[in-house]
Amino acid sequence: MDRKNFIKTSGIGLAFALFPGILQGQTSISKKHSSNDTNSKIIKDSEGDILNVIGDIQTHKLVGSDTGNQIVEWVDNVEPGVGIPPHIHTKEDEIFRVIKGEVAIMVDGKTTILKEGDIAFAPKNIPHSWKVIGTEKAKMITSAFPAGIEHMFRELAKLPAGPPDFKKVTEICGKHGIRFV
C-alpha cells in the first residue's frame, strides 16, 4: 500500500477508534467540552485579586473556580529579603517562573538562584522554599495544581499586620495540607 492510501485508511480507522461516538454524530471532545463548567478568561497584567500574604504581595490571576479546580496562578511582587521558609505541600505541585529580579529557591535540599526567565518545579511532598535576594524587587509567576491553595492564602491575608504569629500561620497552613520543616 502506498503512503497516501495508508494515511487515508488508517486515519479513518484511527478516528473511529479514538472517537467511537462519531458514528452517532457526537464526539467525546464535544461531550467533554459541553460538561466543562469553566469559561475562557483574559486577565490583564494590572488585573487580579491582590492579597498581602505575610509580606508576599500576591495578585491572584486564576483560581480554582475559574479552572474547574485544576490550577491556580498568581503573581508574586516581593521586596528583597522576603521569602517563604522550607515547607512541604501534600496536595499540590508548584511551578515558579521568575519575571524580574532574583530568587533563591531550594527544592529537595538543593538551592539555585533563579533569574529572569528561569523556572523551578516543586512537586508535592518535596521540601522547598524561596527568598528574594539582591537589591531589586522580584516578580514571579507561581502556579499550583490542583487548585485549592488560594483558600489558604485568603486566610493568611486576613491575619493582623506586623510580625506573623507563627503558631497561627502553622495552624492555617496545616489545615490546607502544608507543613513547615
pLDDT tens sequence across 154-181: 999 999 988 889 999 999 999 999 999 9
- The pLDDT, as a whole number, for residue 17 is 46
Q: Summarize pLDDT for 47-104 with one digit per residue, the tens.
A: 999 999 998 999 999 999 999 999 999 999 999 999 999 999 999 999 999 999 999 9
Query: CA angle 109-110-116, nearest 5°?
Result: 135
**E strands of the chain, at which residues?**
49-53, 56-62, 72-78, 83-89, 93-100, 102-107, 110-114, 119-122, 128-133, 138-145, 178-180
Q: What's the pLDDT score for residue 114?
A: 98
Q: Output the pLDDT for position 168.
A: 96
> 160 preceded by cis ω (within 30°)?
no
What does the domain layout of the chain look like in residue ranges? 3-35, 49-180
User: For 115-136, how does the pLDDT look when each residue is reduced to its tens digit (9 = 90+)?
Assistant: 999 999 999 999 999 999 999 9
Confidence of residue 14 (pLDDT cuts 50, 70, 90): very low
Q: What is the pTM assigned to this prediction?
A: 0.79
Q: What is the pLDDT of residue 11?
A: 53
Task: Say if residue 3's pLDDT is above 70.
Answer: no
Is the domain defined by 49-180 classed in CATH 2.60.120.10? Answer: yes
Q: Which of residues 143 and 36 earns the better pLDDT score?
A: 143
